[in-house]
Amino acid sequence: MNYNKKTVRDIDVKGKKVLLRCDFNVPMAKDGSGVITDDKRIRAALPTIQYLLDQNAAVIACSHMGKPKGEVVPSLSLKPVAKRLSELLGKEVIMADDVVGPDAKAKAAALKPGQIMLLENTRFEKGETKNDPELAKAMASMADVYVSDAFGAVHRAHASTAGVADYLPAVSGFLIQKELEIIGGALASPKRPLVAILGGSKVSSKIGVINNLLEIADTIIIGGGMAYTFSAAQGGKVGDSLLEADWMDYSKEMVEKAAAKGVKLLLPVDTVCADAFAPDAKSQVVKAGEIPDGWQGLDIGPETVKLYCDAVKDAGTVIWNGPMGVFEFPAFAKGTEAVAKALSETSAITIIGGGDSAAAVQQLGYAEKMTHISTGGGASLEFMEGKELPGVACLLDK
């Protein structure tokens, strides 16, 4: 999937009313105090918002938050987002009490060029996740142009992410543009060799990614919990490690397919295994496929680290999805950290996709060293699977 979509620079937004779909689905403190614990997603939207305001557009921003399932859930109100956005912009953000109700409509109608308002949580409306055309039409009726910058939501065909594009000229903001350029570019015409590092917990959640990357990568590296299903499929002993018995045949096929295609597929040669799934578990390093009963693999071993770091050294592009071990436990984060460090030291284009992988790279302190960390967990996965992204497909072609 390679998209060549119009951006906010390709159409005239001067003085126009712009419906801007953002991803303001930020984490909030669990105590209901309305404190935003990480405002990264709000900051990420600033360049597009600032551009629109500089163009003297009247910006009607919208987003979902959480899963209110079509009901008004006060703890999922976007009011705290409006407050934070206002602080970041140094400018008033007018908050609507509803999505397409009388308050939103009145405020949108009164909105002046250079002003910004925020609609309430789009998922307070039942029609949002059903991509209801009536809701899409009502949202569109408030604006002249639709700009989408919510990469984290483009894999969903909802009223505010895709439906509205049926009623308004639709283009991307800078965030989506960057995701399309970097991830899309790496998938369509990668600087070679292209090395894909795949890990995380389960084979079953990464089948689409493995399938698609087998078609385009030069090397595939397997780590994380999914490696034990590959190991078991080859007759290895995996003890109590994460194992998806139903996917053993598939894993075998993937190894055979890689061999037939001349794709180098690397599997762990050793494992750090533990006597329990716990941060302070007793651990030992064993050869891959020789995990004793009662033990479970929680990280790749030191020989594997060497092998994998060596494999990315001369890469042109590295796509990484899925941590190499249970990085949430410091004792089992070494493999993930070593790979992150190796990526930070290559001259390759380095792309991190997947929510936990992005969190791992951030937590380990290598975020600044990567070419691109995708802002969309699920969306970046579906992109790497080669699936169509409805929230991108609906935008105008260049």
Three-state DSSP state, 273:
strand
Smallest gap from residue 218 Cβ to ligand ADP (A):
22
Q: What is the dihedral of CA 208, 210, 215, 219, to 10 degrees?
A: 160
Which positions from 202 through 221 interact with ligand ADP, judged by CB under 6 A?
A: 205
CB-CB contact of 186 with 349 (8 Å): yes
User: For residues 30 and 380, what is the distance between their CA atoms, to the nearest angstrom?
Assistant: 27
186: contact with ligand ADP by CB under 6 A? no
297: contact with ligand ADP by CB under 6 A? yes
Instruction: Report the residue from 355, 363, 371, 386 that binds Mg ion according to the rule CB under 5 A.
Output: 355
User: For residues 64 and 68, what is the distance between their CA atoms, to the nearest angstrom?
Assistant: 9
Angle (nearest 5°) at CA 46 between 43 and 52: 165
Phi and psi at 93, nearest 5°, equal: -115, 115
385: contact with ligand ADP by CB under 6 A? no
Chain residue whose CB lies nearest Mg ion: 356
- Beta-carbon contacts of 372 under 8 Å, excluding residues fewer than 6 positions away, are 178, 179, 182, 183, 349, 350, 351, 352
Smallest gap from residue 354 Cβ to Mg ion (A):
6
Instruction: Report the residue from 357, 370, 376, 383 that binds ligand ADP according to the rule CB under 6 A.
Output: 357
Instruction: Report the residue from 225, 236, 289, 391 that binds ligand ADP according to the rule CB under 6 A.
Output: 225
179: contact with Mg ion by CB under 5 A? no
Q: Which does 384 bind (CB under 5 to 8 A by kind): ligand ADP, Mg ion, none?
A: none
268: contact with ligand ADP by CB under 6 A? no
User: For residues 340 and 365, what is the distance between their CA atoms, to the nearest angstrom?
Assistant: 9
- Beta-carbon contacts of 26 under 8 Å, excluding residues fewer than 6 positions away, are 36, 37, 38, 39, 40, 41, 42, 65, 81
Of 49 and 198, the one with the shorter C-beta distance to ligand ADP is 198
User: For residues 384 and 386, what is the distance between their CA atoms, to the nearest angstrom?
Assistant: 5
As beta bridge partners, residue 95 has 118
For tokens 């307070």, the residue is 124
Catalytic residues: 41, 202, 355, 378
User: For residues 21 and 391, what is the distance between their CA atoms, to the nearest angstrom?
Assistant: 10
Instruction: Report the residue from 124, 356, 375, 376 that binds Mg ion according to the rule CB under 5 A.
Output: 356
Which positions from 123 through 162 interact with ligand ADP, judged by CB under 6 A?
A: none
200: contact with ligand ADP by CB under 6 A? yes
Q: Which does 395 bind (CB under 5 to 8 A by kind): Mg ion, ligand ADP, none?
A: none
Instruction: Report the residue from 159, 298, 351, 395 that binds ligand ADP according to the rule CB under 6 A.
Output: 298
Of 200 and 390, the one with the shorter C-beta distance to ligand ADP is 200
Instruction: Report the residue from 305, 326, 349, 351 that binds ligand ADP according to the rule CB under 6 A.
Output: 326
Stretch that binds ligand ADP, among 83-91, 106-114, 211-219, 352-360 (CB under 6 A): 352-360
Of 359 and 396, the one with the shorter C-beta distance to Mg ion is 359
Residue 38 burial class via C-beta count within 10 angstroms: exposed 0-12, middle 13-18, buried 19 and up: exposed
Smallest gap from residue 297 Cβ to Mg ion (A):
19
Smallest gap from residue 63 Cβ to ligand ADP (A):
21
Stretch that binds ligand ADP, among 1-9, 17-25, 81-89, 321-329 (CB under 6 A): 321-329
User: For residues 352 and 374, what is the distance between their CA atoms, to the nearest angstrom?
Assistant: 6
Three-state DSSP state, 71:
coil
**Interaction site with Mg ion (CB under 5 A):** 355-356
**Interaction site with ligand ADP (CB under 6 A):** 200-201, 205, 224-225, 242, 297-298, 321-323, 325-326, 328, 354-357, 377
